[in-house]
Amino acid sequence: MENQVPVTSMAGMLFSLIVSVGLPIVLCMVIRIRTKAKFSSFLIGCGTFFISAMVLEQILHVIVLNAAGDILRGNIWIYGLYGGVAAAVFEETGRFLAMKYFMKRISGCENALMYGAGHGGIEAALIVGLVSVNNLVTSFMINTGQINQVLSALDENTRNMTMQQISALWELPGWQFYMAGVERILAVGLQIALSVLVYYAVKSGDKRYFMLALFSHFFVNFITAVAASFVSVAAVECLVAVMSVAVGGIAWKVCLNEKGAIERI
């Protein structure tokens, strides 16, 4: 194979890997040191995301996409609507139940922040971290010629499909591989903000905060999915940044209203 993966692209993959794995760890340490939040909140966030999004939601996707996959994939608006609703319902319901039943004795906005770091952190590690590792290993094999041995062992159809999949590694501009890391920074921030809103919904009993988190999660996912078909990756990330900052501003006000929380941050 004559194609080579540019160093700039591999640097972008490494950047996204470091962000997706390192950011959650750094956030956990900073929140713990600055606020004395419980580490168990972080673990609960990790576990809740895995069960709600990686297990239960995926079961739904298998059922729905097998039954109506062509209809959904054929219309970006319907697909975005379905994906946004599914992600919002499963993750926010899981977040609400986890805070209500597993964090009964863990109060304070600081623990909502710690939970969000875990929820968003494990999402980053599983979704972007693993992909970045795979991309880096594949890129190394391409650049050293080892990929030829792998391809030669495959039948023609499988080899052609594999070539189509890995061709993006050298065809895409290098800067696009950085975008995965940038997107995860924004996503983790959003997950923390949503966790604060749901925490306050549980603590105050005011379900409007839960509905706000539910709608915000849906809206961000829906807009992101639809916009990706019409504008550039950079433009999509700008949209995500604006929406994340907006939700984060609301969550910050909620933390301000939490007695004494702001003094511990």
Model pLDDT for residues 164-198, shown as the tens digit of each residue: 889 999 999 999 999 999 999 999 999 999 999 99
For 244, counting Cβ atoms within 10 Å of its Cβ (0-12 exposed, 13-18 middle, 19+ buried), the class is buried
Strand blocks (E) in the chain? none
By C-alpha distance, which of 200, 194, 254 is closest to 218? Answer: 194
By C-alpha distance, which of 63, 171, 53, 47 is closest to 102? Answer: 47
Q: What is the pTM of this model?
A: 0.92
Q: Which residue has the tokens 């600055």?
A: 34
pLDDT in tens, 99-136: 999 998 888 899 999 999 999 999 999 999 999 999 99
Give the pLDDT mean for 66-89. Answer: 91
